[in-house]
Amino acid sequence: MLSRALAGIVAGIVCLAAAKDCSAQLGAELISNPLARQLGLERAWAAYVRVDPSRGRVESVRVHRGICVVQTSQGVIQCLDAENGRAYWTSEVGKPSYPTLAPAVGDKFIGVTNGATLYLLDRATGALLWQQRLGGSPSAGPAIDGEHIVVPLDSGILESYKLEREALIDHVPQRYMGTGAAQRPPVIEGNRLLWTTPAGYVYSRELSKDVVQFRFRMNDDAVAAPLFMSPFVYAASRRGTVYCLDQESGLDVWSFSAGNSISHRLVAINGALYVVTETGDMVRLDPRTGHQVWHQVGVGRFLAQSSSRVYVVDMSGQLAVLDAASGARLGAMPIPGLELQIVNADSDRIYLGTTTGLIQCLREVQQTKPLEHVAGFAIAPEVKPGAAPAPAPADGTAPAEAAPPAGGAVPAAANPFGS
């Protein structure tokens, strides 16, 4: 009896130590306001999403017009308010043991694949509207617009389904064929479907007709998804060449050599085109001419842009700030343990998280309302040759850290599985 009691005491001590380690780890991952204010930022909110770290993990976070859609490896989809972290709904799709790919988020619907089945959810409630068995295993996540959802398959075929199903024929997909399976989700803009394949092709087709608008062959494999900004289509090859193509003919308007492989997605915001290479080179291009506006080194990932700053993760894993007009580095801060680094081309908000379920949002202190971006050629930051970059905010000038807002906010050591 005594030995059992001692064993119980030892087990309790071990559990307490593990809990303290977990709490310390969560505290390190939660960015404090005093640290954020060194870069002129503050934490807008922090929240936990539903995930069991012993069995699954958070695999993707998508930001789209005011919401964050979080997807886990066990088929759980959760929708949060992008401004305060409040949870709207949580839904489970398919079987936890089947692979779930990053969802497509539209204005009314959310589409996600689990195994070889496509699920369509209501964006407002998370309710399942319909599910569809696909003609094969998906090679990448789907794309969605106001009328269609398109899924690329391992066979190189893309299947397109109507979102609103009024007749039996709406269950029959329109199929499109490419040379090789798409490794990134396709892009839908209006009636245009765009995708790239590992064989180096860029395809453009009309969704309502079985018509190939153009097929363009790049100089190497394609890993990054294409980008559409009328009247041009942009694509990048693994060799490091960025192409600007005419949206109607597919003719090469200009090309730019970044010098190294490109797998990071191309980002277009307010008249600027950002390119990040696998070796840490980041360039800002004029999307009309392909002219290099500036070049910065040591950049691993684009995060967001405000009115005058670009936020990135550098090659050492820090959150770094660049001047949007000149590319000059203004400052950096450590973000240990934050493996989820979300590309946000919609607004100026910065989203970071962990695969164990912590999601947090940073914003510039003075920017209480989100700065929404346009994917066009207007409002580009003015570039003045020889102009000095704006100085980084001085440390210690901001007030003490305030409590996180209600509705999704959590303390550092909160239980991810609590209410």
* pLDDT reported for residue 376: 61
* pLDDT reported for residue 170: 74
DSSP assignment of 12-55, as one string? HHHHHHHHHHHHHHHHHHSPPHHHHGGGTEEEEEEEE----TTT
DSSP conformation class of 400: P
DSSP conformation class of 171: G
Three-class secondary structure of residue 169 per DSSP: helix
Q: Residue 79 and residue 58: Cα distance in Å, rounded?
A: 13
| Cis peptide bond prior to 391, omega within 30° of 0 | no
* pLDDT reported for residue 406: 35
Task: Evaluate whether 402 touches 409 at the Cβ level (below 8 Å).
Answer: no
DSSP bridge partners of 337? none
Please give the model's pTM, rounded to 2 decimal places: 0.82
* pLDDT per position as a tens digit, 185-207: 999 988 899 999 999 999 999 88
Banded model confidence at residue 27, pLDDT cuts 50, 70, 90:
low
Whether pLDDT at 143 is above 80:
yes
Task: Evaluate whether 274 touches 266 at the Cβ level (below 8 Å).
Answer: yes
Whether pLDDT at 126 is above 80:
yes
Measured in whole angstroms, the distance separating CA 79 from the mean position of its chain's CA atoms is: 14
Cα distances (angstroms) measured from residue 156 to each of 76, 176, 205, 238? 27, 8, 15, 19
What does the pLDDT average to over 131-152?
A: 95
Whether pLDDT at 209 is above 90:
no
Task: Determine how β-strand 109-114 pairs with β-strand 211-217.
Answer: unpaired
* pLDDT reported for residue 16: 37
DSSP conformation class of 170: G
* pLDDT per position as a tens digit, 304-330: 999 999 999 999 999 999 999 999 999
* pLDDT reported for residue 402: 37
Name the E strands within 93-147: 104-105, 109-114, 117-122, 128-133, 143-144
Q: Residue 402 and residue 251: Cα distance in Å, rounded?
A: 54
Structure tokens at 315: 């090659």
Three-class secondary structure of residue 409 per DSSP: coil
Radius of gyration, alpha carbons of the chain: 23
Task: Evaluate whether 151 touches 133 at the Cβ level (below 8 Å).
Answer: no
Whether pLDDT at 399 is above 90:
no
Q: Which amino acid is at 211?
A: V
* pLDDT reported for residue 378: 54
Of 44-53, 190-199, 371-380, the one with minimum mean pLDDT is 371-380
Phi/psi at 37 (nearest 5 deg)? -70, -10
DSSP bridge partners of 301? 313
Q: Which amino acid is at 407?
A: G
Residues with Cβ within 8 Å of 255's Cβ and at least 6 positions away in sequence, in order, are 241, 242, 243, 244, 290
Burial of 18 from C-beta contacts in 10 A (0-12 / 13-18 / 19+): exposed
Banded model confidence at residue 60, pLDDT cuts 50, 70, 90:
very high
Of 2-6, 240-244, 349-353, the one with minimum mean pLDDT is 2-6
* pLDDT reported for residue 270: 84
Of 17-21, 70-74, 101-105, the one with minimum mean pLDDT is 17-21
* pLDDT per position as a tens digit, 229-269: 989 999 999 999 999 999 999 999 999 999 999 999 999 99
Whether pLDDT at 10 is above 60:
no
Q: Cβ atoms within 10 A of the Cβ of 11, count?
A: 10
Task: Evaluate whether 236 touches 243 at the Cβ level (below 8 Å).
Answer: yes
CA angle 272, 278, 282 (to 5 degrees): 30
Q: Residue 402 and residue 44: Cα distance in Å, rounded?
A: 10
Three-class secondary structure of residue 302 per DSSP: strand
What rounded mean pLDDT belongs to the chain? Answer: 85
